[in-house]
Structure 1
């Protein structure tokens, strides 16, 4: 009874949608398009040194530790005021491994189509920059897939932020015995009461669709397309520049749909609700969220929020399945800048599976270094 009172109290208290996708842009840096850099050539370094320890003991995913570094040296050139070209190499190295985990060539073209409208082709402004909820897009995708490649449109003004992209994950040719893979997404937020008001109300919307198939492939498994949608309303109150700086109250509704009904799961659709309360303080934020889901699956989301286990097998053809999930999630972050391009951060996370009385937790450290070194002026004709 007390649990139900708490849950419904939180639902009523958080009629909005959230920053439940805690701002983690310090974990991955995409250089913003700079003004007044016409014809400038830079040598850029993007370096993220990380430790992430996941102490997970439940039925839905196993714990593991990630420790190492990612580094991406590149050349970055502004060919005029509206076009930037960036080329380099992205390298990931886990501690305790002799060889590099990933060595990926990177190339991107970023062009300004208007004052508030950008097109990026090649390496995208991805991962945490999509501002997606953890249940539908796990921030740790930056380790498993550190580079998104494809195309992306971004629109950003005072009221509307809009990001839509296609990440092409696996290319095929005629006769391949592997499937075509890609992820398409839309993330948007419309803001009310902007400007001088201390209050801000916004309506976010998110869509992630994954596809596995391809007409020219000889891959034997059936084509599969899965989609997740999330939306709601978010309330944010700016407090000031003191220790406590803002308070946000929010709730997301989220949905899962198997568009081809060939996933092999015992269900083809599901839904969830995710109320969240968040306090932003001088050095980071504190977040508390309650995840209540029924038959929910998100291929790109954190496995802790799913209705199907990613490792526990029931029999030869199926994984452990629990239709209803209730999860109390908390996050505490701390971040501090050293000089202009060096940032240190800490994250503490807890996940309490209410029906199973299972407590899991995780913590992480990041030291990020992202300088630009001016080389020379190169005229582009």
Structure 2
């Protein structure tokens, strides 16, 4: 006989599997003949040079409409729904063939709140030198850094879309470098506000071919500093560091499909605390959809901007102080992207996960419509 809690878990599991089976069948049966990405590229917002004539003005628009639902009932991460949109119209002006200025306004609206959630001016000066781009002002943040989920959560695209500071980026073929400084909060003399400075680096090396595989070295690091010299605060000075080292193996098949395996060792250092984690991913993709599995094992791990589920310290409302020494998760990722045009993209993402420590199944879903003019 099943006990009451066991029966409840069994029913939840059964219903969840039916739901998952339906979603997978839906994705496999879609026959819209459009080009589909299998990563976050279509949701990235880049300050690209558009080849406008020097001295002429061009209008730009970056917008995202989103709904993200987290069905979480665990002790680490909150369950909630984010639904809304943001829009960033701007004017671009090239003062030189290597220098671009862009100014605009950023407006964010979340449904369920009166008025606007956020409204800010935006301003970026960009200098281009061959395959390098140097940005000053509003930089290309959140998912544009291409960091792994334990270090930078995908949800920063929705709840922290703007970053301000300095950035150097390099992109050529499969090589990628992004180094940045995001100045999040400054000090005011005599006040209690600590300055918050976030710096990081994300590097994907040139690939080398070994038989039928492409191999890449992967390096990432995130540093958050909290402090200040001219304030009256009892809060301690803190510096949190999260380095990550990884290796990518990629095997291409006929029909433009491929399997990619990424494996990372991730660290956490904040004197005198330290922790670590292992993040292993396998993705299969073709032109229409992507199916991936991610395994996370974290031990005394904390990353201030990482996915809430992967942290040892609880970020759940009214659950401060709850701590799990180890987190042991298997995450499934189902992604379907539609490129309706070069400027309009839709992305459907379904991410169920299993918590081995608590024998718990939960899931999240998201739908995103991006427009870039």
TM-score (norm 2): 0.86
Seen in structure 2, the aligned counterparts of structure 1 residues 105 and 312 have a Cα distance that, compared at 3 Å, is closer
Question: Counterparts of 1:175 and 1:329 in 2: how far apart (Å)?
Answer: 46
Tell me, yes or no, if structure 1 residue 46 matches structure 2 residue 51: no
Question: Counterparts of 1:23 and 1:336 in 2: how far apart (Å)?
Answer: 12
TM-score (norm 1): 0.84
Deviations 1:265-288 (A, max 9, x none): xxx100111111101121231110
Question: Counterparts of 2:116 and 2:108 in 1: how far apart (Å)?
Answer: 6
Q: Please report how far the alpha carbon of residue 158 of structure 1 lies from its aligned counterpart in structure 2 after TM superposition.
A: 4.6
Q: Please report how far the alpha carbon of residue 313 of structure 1 lies from its aligned counterpart in structure 2 after TM superposition.
A: 5.9
Q: 1:313·1:320 contact (CA, 8 Å) conserved in 2?
A: no
Tell me, yes or no, if structure 1 residue 80 matches structure 2 residue 80: no
Secondary structure, counterpart of 1:161 in structure 2: strand
Q: 2:175·2:207 contact (CA, 8 Å) conserved in 1?
A: no
**Which residue of the partner structure matches residue 307 of structure 1?**
312
Secondary structure, counterpart of 1:53 in structure 2: strand
Which residue among 211, 226, 231 is the counterpart of 1:217? Answer: 231
Q: 1:312·1:319 contact (CA, 8 Å) conserved in 2?
A: no
Q: 1:333·1:348 contact (CA, 8 Å) conserved in 2?
A: yes
Q: Please report how far the alpha carbon of residue 343 of structure 1 lies from its aligned counterpart in structure 2 after TM superposition.
A: 0.7
**Which residue of the partner structure matches residue 329 of structure 2?**
327
Q: How does 1:128-277 map to 2 (within 5 A)?
A: 128-158=143-173, 160-193=175-208, 199-240=213-254, 242=255, 245-259=257-271, 261=272, 268-277=273-282
Q: Please report how far the alpha carbon of residue 312 of structure 1 lies from its aligned counterpart in structure 2 after TM superposition.
A: 6.4
Secondary structure, counterpart of 1:320 in structure 2: coil
Q: Please report how far the alpha carbon of residue 235 of structure 1 lies from its aligned counterpart in structure 2 after TM superposition.
A: 0.5
Tell me, yes or no, if structure 1 residue 337 matches structure 2 residue 339: yes
Seen in structure 2, the aligned counterparts of structure 1 residues 28 and 69 have a Cα distance that, compared at 3 Å, is farther
Q: 2:52·2:58 contact (CA, 8 Å) conserved in 1?
A: no
Question: Counterparts of 1:220 and 1:334 in 2: how far apart (Å)?
Answer: 48
Question: Counterparts of 2:109 and 2:172 in 1: how far apart (Å)?
Answer: 38
Q: 2:244·2:267 contact (CA, 8 Å) conserved in 1?
A: yes
- Structure 1 regions of 5+ residues with no counterpart? 1-21, 262-267, 372-381
Which residue among 49, 54, 57 is the counterpart of 2:73? Answer: 57
Secondary structure, counterpart of 1:355 in structure 2: coil
Q: 1:168·1:183 contact (CA, 8 Å) conserved in 2?
A: yes
Question: Counterparts of 1:253 and 1:181 in 2: how far apart (Å)?
Answer: 26
Seen in structure 2, the aligned counterparts of structure 1 residues 158 and 258 have a Cα distance that, compared at 3 Å, is same
Secondary structure, counterpart of 2:205 in structure 1: strand
